[in-house]
Amino acid sequence: METARQGAQADRVLVIDDEPVVIDVLRGLLGKQGLDVEFASDAAGGRSVLESADWDAVLLDVMLPDANGLEVLRWIRERYPDLAVVMITAHGTVESAVEAMKAGAFHYLTKPFKNDEVRHLVARATQSTHLRRENEDLRRALEERSRFERIVGKSRPMQEVYRFIDQVAPSRSTVLIHGESGTGKELVAQAIHRRSTRTAEPYLIVNSASIPTELLEDNLFGHLKGAFTGATTDRIGLLEAADGGTILFDEISTVAPQVQAKLLRVIQEKEFLPLGSVEPRTVDVRILAATNEDLKALVEAGRFREDLYYRLNVISLALPPLRERTEDLPLLAAHFLERFNAENGKSVASFSTAALEHMLAYSWPGNVRELENAVERGVVLARGPEIGLDSLPRELRDTPQLPEPAVLPEGVGFYEAVSRFERQLIEAALRSSGGVQKHAAATLGLKPTTLNEKIKRLRIPN
């Protein structure tokens, strides 16, 4: 005999049927199965009992004194799409059974009942309800995931970033993270490390932009005593210090060519030479790299080794700029508001509507970092419960507002109107940038390739 899942609450089954014999039989059968069973004898009663609690399955008679069971079925399907409904039909009424299946019943039982069939079907019905609910919960969790590690954002592009991190984190692969300044490259690198099997091992960041090449080499590879003047003892480098863990090469484009070659060896052979040594040392370090430059272009310009580029670029992630995911802006702004309130002992509650409108219209060339700074400034300057327009940085206040959208002129369709507006904006930007597409693209906050496509599509002479 099947019993209710141990430790869990008993499954709840509602029977809507007016026939005393049916009620008796089901009470006995389902009770023994460890289910929590309740009864309603008509459609009206059934609806109100359904609404009063959560149910795991419903057994519903097709012929009720006050309604057709199929109507009740449709009502249930609409309100509780996850709840499995088993229809009870009289022997020989195949049509209503077929209709019930079409209307979304989980299955049907024919009177008189076969005990085994009832037990089996009800068990499957409750399972089906549970599965559908779990699926739904999972889907919702994914959809609404608005934070991932310390990363805030729930737009589609960010959901893709989260999925990507989960996919690449467990492997040992090198990952190249690129994106404009302030898009969160460091946060992503850290999330990859934290979600990897190396999470308990060291995570180090090397920023080659901020140190001279000799010092970078010494820091990375370490040295033997006497390797150079001042090297009075052996010293291990960051590569060895990070053994078993992860190193992020931030601003990888700034690594000097001589170090690029050595880095390639680390990635390919997992080995390197400390300064002054001829014996290679082996390390197990996962390498992540971040850049806001177009590495491919640097390769073409001869400033970055092609072989290293291909090694780094095996798996790459492009982080979306903030202006391409403005739906995340209110979420991020609220997140920073909370943080800077706490840091400054303030309790600014929100942004004024005008402030938020300007924030949404702004192009945020410095991305999330720029937003973070703007909110900090706003919190510090705010005198009331709100951050008003006057507490935002000048660039933001100056964001021109769009003209009031006009009513479509007679005979002009929506898409035609949008195209004309696009054309006007692009022509104005081209004029003000002397026809240089790259500059016009920057003014418009578009990628040069996107602008070029639009220019071709709209056949704008340029």
Please give the Cα distance from 401 to 74 (Å, whole number).
Answer: 49
Q: Does 186 bind Mg ion (CB under 5 A)?
A: yes
Tell me which residue of 409, 415, 376, 414 sits closest to 393, measured CA to CA.
376
Q: Does 183 bind ligand ATP (CB under 6 A)?
A: yes
CA distances for 293 relative to 269, 366, 406, angstroms: 27, 14, 40
Query: Out of 11, 37, 119, 184, which residue is the one contacting ligand ATP (CB under 6 A)?
Result: 184
Q: Which two tokens stand for residue 232?
A: 């009075």
Q: Which is nearer to Mg ion, 26 or 371 (CB)?
A: 371
3-state DSSP helix/strand/coil % of the chain, to nearest 5 = 50, 15, 35
Minimum gap (Å) between residue 328 Cβ and ligand ATP: 7
* Size of the residue set binding ligand ATP (CB under 6 A): 17
387 to 416, contacts with Mg ion by CB under 5 A?
none
369 binds, among Mg ion, ligand ATP, none (CB under 5 to 8 A by kind): ligand ATP
Query: Out of 213, 260, 292, 433, which residue is the one contacting ligand ATP (CB under 6 A)?
Result: 292
User: What binding mask, one character per residue, do residues 326-345 give for ligand ATP by CB under 6 A, x or -?
Assistant: ------x-------------
Q: Is 311 in contact with 268 (CB distance < 8 Å)?
A: yes
Please give the Cα distance from 382 to 161 (Å, whole number).
Answer: 34
Q: Which two tokens stand for residue 244?
A: 């078993």
Q: Does 182 bind ligand ATP (CB under 6 A)?
A: yes
Q: What is the 3-state secondary structure (H, E, C) of 32-97?
A: HCCCEEEEECCHHHHHHHHHHCCCCEEEEECECCCCEHHHHHHHHHHHCCCCEEEEEECCCCHHHH
Q: Does 293 bind Mg ion (CB under 5 A)?
A: no
Please give the Cα distance from 220 to 239 (Å, whole number).
Answer: 6
181 binds, among ligand ATP, Mg ion, none (CB under 5 to 8 A by kind): ligand ATP
Query: Out of 154, 369, 397, 439, which residue is the one contacting ligand ATP (CB under 6 A)?
Result: 369
Q: Which two tokens stand for residue 229?
A: 């003047």
Minimum gap (Å) between residue 253 Cβ and ligand ATP: 11
Q: Which is nearer to ligand ATP, 26 or 152 (CB)?
A: 152
Tell me which residue of 179, 180, 188 sits closest to 152, measured CA to CA.
188
Q: Which residues contact 336 (CB under 8 A, 6 or more apart)?
A: 371, 372, 375, 376
Minimum gap (Å) between residue 153 Cβ and ligand ATP: 5
Query: Out of 57, 109, 247, 368, which residue is the one contacting ligand ATP (CB under 6 A)?
Result: 368
Q: Single out the segment in contact with ligand ATP by CB under 6 A; choices: 70-78, 179-187, 395-403, 408-416.
A: 179-187
Q: Which is nearer to ligand ATP, 70 or 317 (CB)?
A: 317
Q: Is 28 in contact with 34 (CB distance < 8 Å)?
A: no
Q: Which is nearer to ligand ATP, 12 or 145 (CB)?
A: 145
Residues found near ligand ATP in the complex (CB under 6 A):
151-153, 179, 181-187, 290, 292, 332, 368-369, 372
Residues found near Mg ion in the complex (CB under 5 A):
186
